[in-house]
Structure 1
Amino acid sequence: MFNWMSSIGIGAATVDTHLERDQYAPGDIATGEVVIKGGVGTQVFSHIELQLMLEYHLEGEMKNKTYQAETFQISGPIEIHQHEIKRIPFQLTLPDMLPMSTGHFPIYIRTVLDARFAVDPKDEDRITVLPAKLVQHILKVIEDAGFILYKIENLELVEKPKDGIPFMQIFVFRPTGSNHGVIDEYSVVFTHTATSFRMEMEILRAEQALQSTFEWNHRDPESTFRINGNPAEGNPFEKLRTLLKRK
């Protein structure tokens, strides 16, 4: 059963994008269809594309910026006749580095029918993107160590990469239990590829910041584990538990 995502008027025709589901993880395959309904008369469109849109902001600013993470062209030229209905199936592979979606920093799909037509941004609809499985596991480790996730920020990078997302997603935690009053705040940024994983962390204690970086390769975390760029022994997850419980 498809979920209706958007309905955008394009002249006399309309286009509706349907997805099989509205919840995904990075790297997932999204399948669905675009339904074009003809209006009065015949229209010709050069192509249909779906744009994957992300939001972020500059530190200190309230208004979000948008970033077009991917563009998927799902058809060539299309001619639609009066009251005709055409269904265009599609299959998209979401990026491996797709950040988690939140209420303040949504992820949505924009449907564009022919590049000459403008799209009303109010017709864009959100999809839910969960963290990658490894990120979910680490978030659970942090919570089990006595921390509560209270904020996620998509913060614009000062030095933007030539390719890739122009912001970092920061997970900010507050302590509970035995860590309350000892640690003020714990922040972490995850960077992962198909072969490697990296955590950049900051622990605030009494206005002092302790920064640390963990990184390893997926194929063999223990033998490739590095802390602050130096080879380290042990399991990365056990080291993380030790770091968070340190008084």
Structure 2
Amino acid sequence: MSFFKKMLASVGIGSAQVNTELDTIEVRLGGEISGTIEVEGGQTDQAIGNIYVKLKTHYLRESNDRKIRATGTIAQYLVTEGFQLRAGERKQFPFRFRLPDQMPVTLHNVPIWVESGLDIDLAVDPKDEDLIHVLPDAKMQTVLDAVDMLGFRLREVTNDYAPRLGGALPFVQEFEYVPGTKFRGYLDELEILFFPRGESLELVLQIDRRARGLSGLFAEAMEMDERFLRVPLSKEELQRGPQAVAAFLENVIAKHL
């Protein structure tokens, strides 16, 4: 009977279960996420390997001229090392971790979730997933407010495959805006990437100029109407607030139309 239970546990039937209770599902960039992982033994004793917590999200990448959705790990944290779990036994493991500075936020339906799981040799690893809401930090929010003041409307937020730009991540989060009052007729769209630099922030702006005349149509066809700009914002500049940052960005964009 014991052998039969072990065989079933190896395919996930009657195996140990894991459940995560988060203290909060809303956290800002750079903030802490905490909770408790509860592990309950199954119908037989099992050797549990590491218990881990992963932050995960989806991103888009191209394959054979099609965009496909992939799953990426933002960060991984070790909660506890291996232990022996008796049948029916319950154990709880509290955890607290700081979110990485560079990670996506959950604007416009970008999903981010906490995945907790057990490593069990020669068996299906039990997992639990919990969605969280990651808000911009003060630096990013200042820029978002500034762009809004310039009349831009946020059209889309996506995680796009870009391993050379993403650093530790295989993707970057792209904010795509359409112009409103100030730049209507001059721009088709404005795309922004955010890169934290300690207490400062670096932006990468992609300025997509509206085609005007035959030369403009030619440039658009050849994708020569797009400019990429690196725009650093110091701690002092960000502390001046959204209005000051809006004036600065307006000047930067106007120079490259």
TM-score normalised by the shorter chain: which range applies? 0.7 to 0.9
The 8 Å contact of residues 10 and 113 in structure 1, kept in 2 or not, is answered as no
Equivalent position of 1:175 in the other structure: 179
Length, aligned pairs only: 224
The 8 Å contact of residues 204 and 210 in structure 1, kept in 2 or not, is answered as yes
Equivalent position of 1:58 in the other structure: 61
Equivalent position of 2:196 in the other structure: 192
**1:93 Cα shift?**
1.2
Farther-moved stretch of structure 1 (80-89 vs 177-186): 177-186
Output the CA distance in 2 between the equivalents of 1:83 and 1:119: 17
* Structure 2 residue corresponding to 1:77, chosen from 82, 94, 104: 82
Equivalent position of 2:231 in the other structure: 214
**1:119 Cα shift?**
4.5
Normalized against structure 1, the TM-score is what? Answer: 0.78
The 8 Å contact of residues 178 and 189 in structure 2, kept in 1 or not, is answered as yes
Letter in 1 for 2:81: G
Farther-moved stretch of structure 1 (189-198 vs 142-151): 189-198
Output the CA distance in 2 between the equivalents of 1:210 and 1:12: 55
Output the CA distance in 2 between the equivalents of 1:177 and 1:205: 15
Output the CA distance in 1 between the equivalents of 2:153 and 2:253: 13
**Structure 2 runs not aligned, ≥5 long:** 1-11, 212-224, 239-243
Output the CA distance in 1 between the equivalents of 2:180 and 2:109: 25
Normalized against structure 2, the TM-score is what? Answer: 0.75
SS at match of 2:202: strand
Matched, 1:22 2:25: yes
**1:11 Cα shift?**
4.4
Which of the pair has more CA radius of gyration? 2
Farther-moved stretch of structure 1 (194-203 vs 103-112): 103-112
**Structure 1 runs not aligned, ≥5 long:** 1-8, 223-234
**1:164 Cα shift?**
0.6
* Structure 2 residue corresponding to 1:134, chosen from 112, 116, 139: 139
C-alpha distance after superposition, 1:143-177 (max 9, x if no partner): 1111110111211116366x511212111111223
Matched, 1:204 2:196: no
Report the structure, 1 or 2, having the larger helix content.
2
Output the CA distance in 2 between the equivalents of 1:150 and 1:119: 39
CA distance 1:21–1:56, shift in 2 (3 Å): same
Equivalent position of 2:96 in the other structure: 91
Output the CA distance in 1 between the equivalents of 2:120 and 2:92: 19
C-alpha distance after superposition, 1:188-237 (max 9, x if no partner): 1111121431111122222333443211332x449xxxxxxxxxxxx654
Letter in 2 for 1:54: T
The 8 Å contact of residues 18 and 34 in structure 1, kept in 2 or not, is answered as yes
SS at match of 1:140: helix
Output the CA distance in 1 between the equivalents of 2:109 and 2:191: 18
SS at match of 1:124: strand
Letter in 2 for 1:92: F
Output the CA distance in 2 between the equivalents of 1:27 and 1:101: 14
Output the CA distance in 1 between the equivalents of 2:38 and 2:135: 27
CA distance 1:44–1:106, shift in 2 (3 Å): same
SS at match of 1:190: strand
Matched, 1:40 2:64: no
**1:120 Cα shift?**
7.2
* Structure 1 residue corresponding to 2:169, chosen from 165, 170, 191: 165
